């Protein structure tokens, strides 16, 4: 079975009641894009309109190999539309504050699964009925972990330990399976000449990577200062990736402790297998849907009890304590403080099946549903295909925002 055979097979748009009027210092836009990550689209807008990055604000990162709609604000931005390759920016009006993730109420999805067999359709339809009743685990999915190395290293781990050289290496030199050809060349240059910054600068093309290396040419061992020159939105992504991984670990253990063993099946994520639940008894279903778990952060103040114990036990497996989940430098980045629902409902879930016009003799399914802010449609896809053949997600790089935009010329 295939997901995202074409970008139009994966549509997502934000739902928000963000106040838009005629007054305010922030211009509000709807960004519609195809085949671009959010940060790539932001960079394109910056280059076209010659505006400062810090004047822009948006709520979330949307998939690259998809058709997506999201809100975006620009402080004192142009009161006009922008149209260029693969993106359309529609001016909607003005607002008194920037648009942020907190302004997203939900995301509406319309997905097409292709190249299905009759057995695949039958299994998916049964699973969808179970999802309607019992919901889904609210895991962060693979898109969140694009910055994780092939060996399973997260950039944020050496960062919080104060090892800025290793942090820079993982960001700019560590190879990833989805690196484009030019990215492979740039990373190889750094691996071959690490520490010889003048040679690196001479060989690298103009990019964000090269600008950081230029700083090291003047201060060869100031890795701390060089790290502060990495784009702040990318540094925030790296923190989110590690925090999300730790949260998933907690959520997985919570499900193991609270769900009947016969209702659980392990499903592979990029970071490793985690349990998904099938149909649940009503009391357990209600308990899961009413439960939340904290995002691991030293800023969290947890009362003694089962939740604090779960956090401590999860972190101890990684030789960490909650007080260590913090950024000492630079202070413009921090781990989020908040709680995340353990399980969610897919509201308005509906589906239909028919012949796949792109694969003779095969079937297709169209799914329509709405998920809360920050939840992943691909988790639902994993749930309804868990006992069938693996889904071939034709997103060429599930971490495009991490991998590509990080090296773009600022």
pLDDT tens across 326-349, in order? 999 999 999 999 999 999 999 999
Query: Residues 6 or more apart from 338 whose CB is under 8 A from it?
Result: 294, 295
Q: How confident is the model at residue 378 (pLDDT cuts 50, 70, 90)?
A: very high
How high is the pLDDT of residue 177?
Answer: 86
Claim: this prediction has a pTM higher than 0.95:
no
List, for residues 188-241, the tens digit of each pLDDT value: 999 999 999 999 999 999 999 999 999 999 999 999 999 999 999 899 999 999
- Helix (H, G, I), strand (E, B), or coil: what is residue 309? helix
Query: Taking the CB of residue 53, how many other CB atoms lie within 10 A of it?
Result: 13
Span 177-195, average pLDDT? 95
pLDDT of 390 higher than 90: no
Structural domain spans, the chain: 10-105, 163-233
Q: Cα-Cα-Cα-Cα dihedral of 142, 143, 148, 150, to 10°?
A: 60
pLDDT band of 391, cuts 50, 70, 90: low
pLDDT for res 403 = 33
Give φ, ψ of 108 to 5 degrees: -100, 130
What's the CATH number for 10-105? 3.30.70.3160
Residue 409 predicted with pLDDT over 90:
no
- The reported pLDDT for the residue numbered 60 is 87
> Among 17-21, 178-182, 352-356, which stretch is predicted with the lowest mean pLDDT?
178-182
- Tell me what the pLDDT averaged over the chain comes to: 93
98-112 residue pLDDT tens: 999 999 999 999 999
pLDDT at site 233: 86
Q: Give me the pLDDT at residue 383, please.
A: 95
Predicted confidence at residue 61, as pLDDT, reads 87
For the chain, how far is it from start to end, CA to CA, in angstroms? 39
Identify the sign of the CA torsion 195, 199, 201, 203: negative
Phi, psi of 264 (to 5 degrees): -105, 145
The number of beta carbons lying within 10 Å of the beta carbon of residue 269 is 20
Residue with tokens 């101890």: 316
pLDDT of residue 407 exceeding 50, the answer is: no
* Confidence band, pLDDT 50/70/90 cuts, at residue 404: very low
Give mean pLDDT, residues 362-372: 97
Tokens of residue 307, six digits: 């939740």
pLDDT at 401 over 60: no
Decide if 274 contacts 139 (C-beta within 8 A): yes
Q: At what angle do helices 377-384 and 118-134 cross, to 10 degrees?
A: 120
Same fold, 10-105 and 163-233: no
The total of other beta-carbon atoms located within 10 Å of residue 119's CB is 11
Rounded CA separation 407/202 (Å): 16
pLDDT of res. 70: 98
Q: Is a pLDDT exceeding 60 seen at residue 405? A: no
Q: Per-residue confidence at 63, pLDDT binned at 50, 70, 90?
A: confident
Specify whether domain 163-233 bears CATH 1.10.1510: yes
Angstrom distance (rounded) from CA 254 to CA 307: 9
Relative to beta strand 10-15, strand 106-116 is antiparallel
- What does the pLDDT look like over 282-305, one tens digit per residue? 999 999 999 999 999 999 999 999
Q: Given a cut of 70, is residue 410 above it in pLDDT?
A: no
Percent of the chain residues topping a pLDDT of 90: 90
d(CA 371, CA 365): 19
Element (DSSP H or E) covering residue 386: none
Report the range of poorest mean pLDDT among 82-91, 125-134, 263-272, 397-406. Answer: 397-406
Instruction: Give, in degrees to the nearest 5, the angle at Cα 61 between 321 and 398.
Output: 85
The yes-or-no verdict on residue 392 having pLDDT over 80 is no
Other beta carbons within 10 angstroms of residue 2's beta carbon come to 20
Residue 398, pLDDT > 80, answer: no
Is 394:2 a contact under the CB 8 Å cutoff? yes
């Amino acid at each position: 079975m295939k997901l995202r055979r074409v970008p139009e097979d994966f549509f997502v748009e934000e739902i928000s009641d963000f106040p838009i009027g005629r007054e305010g210092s922030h211009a509000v836009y709807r960004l519609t894009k195809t085949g671009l990550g959010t940060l790539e689209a932001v960079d394109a807008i910056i280059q076209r309109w010659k505006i400062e990055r810090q004047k822009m604000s948006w709520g979330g990162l949307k998939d690259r190999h998809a058709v997506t709609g999201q809100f975006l604000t620009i402080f004192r931005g142009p009161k006009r539309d922008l149209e260029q390759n693969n993106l359309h920016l529609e001016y909607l009006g003005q607002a008194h504050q920037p648009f942020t993730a907190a302004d997203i109420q939900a995301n509406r999805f319309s997905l097409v699964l292709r190249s299905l067999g009759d057995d695949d359709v039958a299994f998916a339809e049964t699973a969808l009925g179970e999802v309607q009743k019992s919901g889904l685990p609210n895991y962060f999915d693979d898109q969140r972990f694009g910055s994780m190395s092939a060996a399973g290293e997260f950039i944020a781990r050496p960062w919080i330990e104060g090892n800025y050289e290793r942090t820079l290496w993982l960001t700019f030199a560590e190879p990833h399976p989805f690196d484009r050809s030019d990215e492979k060349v740039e990373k190889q240059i750094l691996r071959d000449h690490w520490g010889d910054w003048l040679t690196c600068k001479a060989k690298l093309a103009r990019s964000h990577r090269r600008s950081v290396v230029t700083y090291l040419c003047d201060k060869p061992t100031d890795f701390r200062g060089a790290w502060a020159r990495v784009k702040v939105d990318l540094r925030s992504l790296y923190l989110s990736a590690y925090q999300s991984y730790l949260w998933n670990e907690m959520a997985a253990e919570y499900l193991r402790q609270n769900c009947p063993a016969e209702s659980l099946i392990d499903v592979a994520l990029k970071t490793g297998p985690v349990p998904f639940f099938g149909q649940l008894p009503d009391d357990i279903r209600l308990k899961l849907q009413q439960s939340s778990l904290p995002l691991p952060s030293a800023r969290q103040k947890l009362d003694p009890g089962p939740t604090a114990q779960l956090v401590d036990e999860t972190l101890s497996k990684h030789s960490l304590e909650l007080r260590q989940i913090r950024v000492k430098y630079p202070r413009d980045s921090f781990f989020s403080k908040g709680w995340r629902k353990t399980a969610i409902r897919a509201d308005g879930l509906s589906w239909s099946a028919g012949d796949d016009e792109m694969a003779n003799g095969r079937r297709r399914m169209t799914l329509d549903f709405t998920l809360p802010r920050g939840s992943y449609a691909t988790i639902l896809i994993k749930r309804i295909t868990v006992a069938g053949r693996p889904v071939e997600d034709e997103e060429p790089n599930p971490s495009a925002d991490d991998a590509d935009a990080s090296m773009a010329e600022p």
